[in-house]
Amino acid sequence: MVEKKVKLSVCGAYPGKIGGTTILVKQLYDYLSRSEHYTTIKCDYTEIQLNSKFGQVAIIWETLKSIIKSDVVLINISKRGFEVLILPVSLAALLSKNKVIVRYFGGDASEVYKKIFGFLSKIIHNIASKHVVIATETIENIEYFNDHKYNVYQLTNSRPKTDVRKIKNSENGSLCLIFMAQIKERKGVKDIIKAVSELDNVSVDFYGPMEWDIDQSLFFENPNVTYKGVAPLGSAQTVMANYDALIFPTTYEGESHAGVVLEAFSVGLPVIGYSWKAIPEIVFHGETGLLSACDDINGLRDSIKKLRDNKNLRLNMSNNCLRTFENYFTADASRDRIIEIIDYENSSAKSVGRPPKWQITENNYKINESI
């Protein structure tokens, strides 16, 4: 008897002229569409936005249609999409009895409910928690959704494996750093420039789009820093391989499992940064990087000097980064996990063993099934 295929819709923003999480959505869809187990349907929010005069209304309508015509719907959204979609999606799941899995990107889910829904949050939680499964990155998000009785899994950020490996190997007393993100104050750009302004044998190359709150003249006033423009899409790992470490002292409010950190790990680059939000969940101080207190310029400077002056520490951390990436953050591992979740949550697949609720914790990435 031929196995009946599961009708699976993958909703989210697919790559247009932008990258980020859209790349992850496309990679996942491409992989699932090749599976003999699923009939895969694409719901592309980027295309809907471009081709419709009605924007958000059109996205809601197409998402609801996907829920009705599919056995399982995987919705990939961040804060803005969550605000718009969670209530209509929950009602559609209630009425259709079809399974909805919301993959929430970002580290600020609790703020959505506090600021947007106000007194309606309890009603929304009541409906959504019974009919929507959440897959999200950070421990803070997991604990929040768990407290509100959702069925929640940890699904970390990921990046494809690469054949590129760390090729830069500066001697003791010399350090070449890379920053790769939006060139904005909340990503730590000004703090980096202050921290390296009086250091010898330290250079920082900055890659990323220049934002409004940064004056480009900062890069002309300090010989230790250089603005290199925007790296071509898909080239991050190749570019990073020419450096000793990533510097990323972000204090961005929505920071979660930052993709740039995982790209650094994939080519063996340790990370210098702040102990902010979910960064300590993926960067272990002294093992895969050096973290200091937020806004502590002296602490940031000390981390840079420590890595500059100790080549053996850099090499040990580099090996730890490669091993950590291979074990937990590859695109293959992420896809395997989401398939486990889809197959278990699909009503016709309850014989499949339940995946662990947490994939990693801050405690050395140990599986935790205690939620």
Q: Is residue 169 a part of any domain in this protein? A: no
What are residue 166's phi and psi, to 5 degrees?
A: -60, 125
Single-letter residue type at 294: C
Helix pair angle (21-33, 331-345), 10° resolution: 60
Going by C-alpha positions, the residue among 245, 106, 253 that lies closest to residue 186 is 253
The enclosing domain of 309 has a CATH number of 3.40.50.2000
My answer on whether 258 and 229 are in the same domain is yes
Give me 226's structure tokens.
Answer: 């250089």
Q: Domain range for residue 136?
A: 6-158+330-349
The verdict on 123 and 260 lying in the same domain is no
- Residues 111 and 205 placed together within one structural domain of the fold: no
Provide φ and ψ at 72, rounded to 5°: -135, 140
* Amino acid in position 244: D
Q: Is residue 149 in a domain? A: yes
Max avg pLDDT among 84-88, 206-210, 362-366: 206-210
Could you give the maximum distance between any two Cα atoms of the chain, in Å?
Answer: 72
The letter for the amino acid at 322 is L
Q: What whole-number percentage of the chain has pLDDT above 90?
A: 54
Tens of pLDDT, residue by residue over 312-354, are 999 999 999 999 999 889 989 889 999 999 999 886 555 667 8
**Predicted pLDDT of residue 8:** 95
How many domains does one find in the chain? 2
Per-residue DSSP letters for 13-54?
Answer: PPPSS--THHHHHHHHHHHHHT-SSEEEEEEEHHHHHHH-SS
Q: At 270, phi and psi to the nearest 5?
A: -70, 165
**Domain contains 227:** yes
Does the pTM surpass 0.85? The reply is yes
Whether 20 and 126 share a structural domain:
yes
Within-domain flag for 366: no
Work out the burial of residue 257: count CB atoms within 10 Å of its CB; fewer than 13 is exposed, 13-18 middle, 19 or more buried: buried
Q: Strand order in 271-274's β-sheet?
A: 225-227, 202-207, 175-180, 245-248, 271-274, 289-292
Q: How far apart are CA 273 and CA 290, in angstroms?
A: 7
Asked whether the beta carbons of 341 and 101 are under 8 A apart, the reply is: yes
Is 117 within a domain? yes
pLDDT in tens, 93-142: 989 989 999 999 888 787 766 655 566 677 777 888 888 999 999 888 89
249 shares a domain with 180: yes
The predicted structure's pLDDT at residue 78: 86
At CA 180, angle to CA 175 and CA 184, rounded to 5?
110
**Do 183 and 312 share a domain, yes or no?**
yes
Same domain, 142 and 182: no
